[in-house]
Structure 1
């Protein structure tokens, strides 16, 4: 009865109220449209951009199939909700547990580990080349299960899509603006947005000849292969450094640091060593133990050494003026820093922030960037495609290093030992923070063998070049999808 009433209303002449088109984005919706879209009344279900993209798909030169077509898709699921029991990374069954933000990083890492053999985590398991799509909070972010995370467990807040073949083709489609708009139009929830695997069934995807699909697929697979190779080089450089320094594991160093304190983690410090800091975390014995061990095989140098670091910049706070992509510079924060291509959707005005961009915001060559607020200790070496083209927020510190040492410094600071030395400098009660003046007090052990320093530095540069190569391969795949398949 309701459907017949809707059809009748569609045929009737209804007076249209004039809406000021220049001030707001708007569109009219028929009652039958509301019914056909699951009786959903959220404006996002009927947004203008979505309607435009649906028209583009309808007029596509290739036949359309459903995104979860059974001919290609084996499974699509997001895992069950269950209480997690975290374990030590040293446990023989321990594997990384990754959430929606970690899967996007070029080198995913976490401090959370679960027992891979526990049957209640079965729905968290993935296989190599599964497509991952964030489905809670920040929606529609895409990643692929590569060698770096194939043995990990992935959160229920991530949809896993398993295909028989040509995973790279679907991956590239999901990365397009068209697919992102269609995915997000299905969101529900007021405080936290969500989508479900069943919502993907509504999305259509062009089905071009196999040659085009394979070309796109191969580029995506090559991109993830380059990322894996990059991560292996970083691991290799880190191992060389740790072996040369003859550093014990961080767990063994912790035991040594607190070997005199059996009942409670307590320690004393001299008045002369206070350095104006009264926080217990600043004086933890672990730092002294790390520096004692590395001093046996290396010379300690600090980040205030101008021969190593030219400048350390923390941008000042300012009123941000955002503009469209064509007139702005991509603007990234701490959460986006570790991704191959940060897609925040925020662009700073080139005109309004011209001076500030040149002096302190644009990413510069031979830089190491790290968060100055929130989760501290992680670092990222500036990638070639970011230099001069991306701007950092006032929650990131940029450290401009000498070219001969930037890779070496990055490898040490990126290690668990470097992370501890950075974290030691933090201050703040509710939100942890670090300033350039504190970062300058972080020490870096420089090996006495100059050739080893050069080798580690070169490995870091090769790893960074592979990340740039991975970026170009992925962008080429998405460009082919947009131009040759979608006709955008």
Structure 2
């Protein structure tokens, strides 16, 4: 018996048919068209409208190739567009200050709303805090500057609602890759909410922004302490070295025997380091058949990249019938997780600590799980894996002719430092702050969704 085709239904005003001069159902069932109809409906009910352009200024740097910084040259750490959505934004490169004449236009400014403007996942946005303001960012994100703090915070929450996202995507164009222009963003209509609503939403979003900055700052401070405890003094740009054949084990790939990897391992051993397997159990489940479903019918499932994001981009949901044993794919509060499949020169191996808000979420078979022993603090395990010398060891385990992979038993063999409870507690508090920040912004968005529905009648 064939499964009946699911039909999408929507109501369209006859006026819209005249405006768009189209009759195809697919066009009118598009969320962007529905959003325009919703804005018109709100206006007819007396809701005052403004636009992003009227609220503030919208800009983006001129498209240009940025010159990379040379050694010892004055430079700025550089982020790729989607790096701004990570828990801990990490520089993808460094760009030259003196050789990029318009470098100031690429600097992130605290308080700016950063809006993605291209790509298949066009739509996500975030607000720049003091941590993000330390970086330069490409022209692939549009900057929205709103002077009034409350209006800025409410706008951020509105852009995260389903209506806001549909309106942002409304202006996209491009035959292959979707793009937005500054004028597209300026023209996005925004309802003017009652003062009491704006005050309440602004307060929640403000608390969220502060908690995220607080958590990021604390984690960066902890990582800085680790760097001071285990400094890397040697050259990191080795291109060739020599070694005896008897040292080679069952691998012949050069990266596995890189001097930085070997020396870092010895450094940690001398400082009292232990094998990761003495602190935690590593696990990597097998591949599964994916049955993706709508949110109400499944559970969220994250990839190695998404687990690094407080608000996972393009989060999908999967049915439990995808797995023979669902428990193997669950992640629990206190686990340290990282992407075990991907590019070793990228974000592969960079860890996240699972917090209570993601308890019993699912993670793909590309995600390595580190389950801490009962006497090991989760914060200490996360920090150990994030240590540069450990990162180099884990990345060196990668194998594969096209896509890099690694084995859990190999991961358990790397040497890691042991940290005290005080430092571990600070790390855990920082991750709790990040989790609470996400909960608050989700609450603010949900409340604004309810207000939009109320205003619409």
Q: TM-score range by the shorter chain?
A: 0.7 to 0.9
1:391 aligns with 2:362: yes
Higher Rg? 1
State the partner residue of 2:444. 477
State the partner residue of 1:400. 371
Once residues 343 and 149 of structure 1 are traced to their aligned partners in structure 2, the CA distance between those partners, rounded to angstroms, is: 18
Alignment equivalent of 1:136, drawn from 107, 111, 118:
118
State the partner residue of 1:273. 247
Once residues 62 and 294 of structure 1 are traced to their aligned partners in structure 2, the CA distance between those partners, rounded to angstroms, is: 67
User: In 2, are the aligned partners of 1:47 and 1:185 still within 8 Å (CA)?
Assistant: no
State the partner residue of 1:361. 329
Shift of 1:380: 0.9
Alignment of 1:161-310 (within 5 A): 161-165=144-148, 166-243=151-228, 245=229, 247-248=230-231, 250=232, 252-254=233-235, 265-296=239-270, 298-305=271-278, 308-309=279-280
Residue aligned with 2:349, SS:
coil
State the partner residue of 2:80. 99
Once residues 73 and 441 of structure 2 are traced to their aligned partners in structure 1, the CA distance between those partners, rounded to angstroms, is: 35
1:68 aligns with 2:40: no
Shift of 1:455: 1.3
Shift of 1:407: 1.2
Relative to structure 1, the CA distance from residue 150 to residue 407 in structure 2 (aligned partners, 3 Å threshold; closer, same or farther) is: same
Unaligned stretches of 5+ in structure 1?
A: 1-20, 259-264, 447-451
User: In 1, are the aligned partners of 2:85 and 2:311 still within 8 Å (CA)?
Assistant: no
Alignment equivalent of 1:318, drawn from 288, 294, 310:
288
Residue aligned with 2:307, SS:
coil
RMSD value, Cα: 2.8
Shift of 1:395: 1.7
Relative to structure 1, the CA distance from residue 216 to residue 471 in structure 2 (aligned partners, 3 Å threshold; closer, same or farther) is: same
User: In 2, are the aligned partners of 1:383 and 1:468 still within 8 Å (CA)?
Assistant: yes
Relative to structure 1, the CA distance from residue 212 to residue 31 in structure 2 (aligned partners, 3 Å threshold; closer, same or farther) is: closer
Residue aligned with 1:76, SS:
strand
State the partner residue of 1:7. none
Residue aligned with 1:173, SS:
helix
Residue aligned with 2:81, SS:
coil
State the partner residue of 2:306. 336
Map Cα deviations across residues 441-479 of structure 1 (whole Å, 9 max, x no partner): 211022xxxxx5111211111111111211121122112
Relative to structure 1, the CA distance from residue 64 to residue 228 in structure 2 (aligned partners, 3 Å threshold; closer, same or farther) is: same
State the partner residue of 1:12. none
Alignment equivalent of 1:155, drawn from 135, 138, 162:
138
Once residues 62 and 208 of structure 1 are traced to their aligned partners in structure 2, the CA distance between those partners, rounded to angstroms, is: 11
User: In 1, are the aligned partners of 2:83 and 2:90 still within 8 Å (CA)?
Assistant: yes
1:111 aligns with 2:83: no
Which 10-residue stretch deviates more, 175-184 or 199-208?
A: 199-208
Relative to structure 1, the CA distance from residue 365 to residue 281 in structure 2 (aligned partners, 3 Å threshold; closer, same or farther) is: same
User: In 2, are the aligned partners of 1:62 and 1:206 still within 8 Å (CA)?
Assistant: no
Shift of 1:50: 3.7
Residue aligned with 1:418, SS:
helix
1:442 aligns with 2:410: no
Once residues 107 and 423 of structure 2 are traced to their aligned partners in structure 1, the CA distance between those partners, rounded to angstroms, is: 35
User: In 2, are the aligned partners of 1:332 and 1:344 still within 8 Å (CA)?
Assistant: no
Once residues 136 and 356 of structure 2 are traced to their aligned partners in structure 1, the CA distance between those partners, rounded to angstroms, is: 31
1:370 aligns with 2:341: no
Shift of 1:183: 1.9
Once residues 486 and 201 of structure 1 are traced to their aligned partners in structure 2, the CA distance between those partners, rounded to angstroms, is: 24
Once residues 330 and 223 of structure 2 are traced to their aligned partners in structure 1, the CA distance between those partners, rounded to angstroms, is: 28
Shift of 1:355: 4.5
Unaligned stretches of 5+ in structure 2?
A: none
Once residues 395 and 354 of structure 1 are traced to their aligned partners in structure 2, the CA distance between those partners, rounded to angstroms, is: 15
Aligned length: 441
User: In 1, are the aligned partners of 2:338 and 2:369 still within 8 Å (CA)?
Assistant: yes
Once residues 287 and 420 of structure 1 are traced to their aligned partners in structure 2, the CA distance between those partners, rounded to angstroms, is: 6
User: In 1, are the aligned partners of 2:338 and 2:367 still within 8 Å (CA)?
Assistant: yes
Once residues 132 and 236 of structure 1 are traced to their aligned partners in structure 2, the CA distance between those partners, rounded to angstroms, is: 25
State the partner residue of 2:129. 146
Once residues 67 and 219 of structure 1 are traced to their aligned partners in structure 2, the CA distance between those partners, rounded to angstroms, is: 22
Shift of 1:33: 4.8
Once residues 141 and 18 of structure 2 are traced to their aligned partners in structure 1, the CA distance between those partners, rounded to angstroms, is: 29
Once residues 385 and 30 of structure 1 are traced to their aligned partners in structure 2, the CA distance between those partners, rounded to angstroms, is: 41
User: In 2, are the aligned partners of 1:363 and 1:392 still within 8 Å (CA)?
Assistant: yes
Relative to structure 1, the CA distance from residue 143 to residue 41 in structure 2 (aligned partners, 3 Å threshold; closer, same or farther) is: farther
Once residues 83 and 194 of structure 2 are traced to their aligned partners in structure 1, the CA distance between those partners, rounded to angstroms, is: 34
Once residues 396 and 471 of structure 1 are traced to their aligned partners in structure 2, the CA distance between those partners, rounded to angstroms, is: 22
Shift of 1:29: 8.2
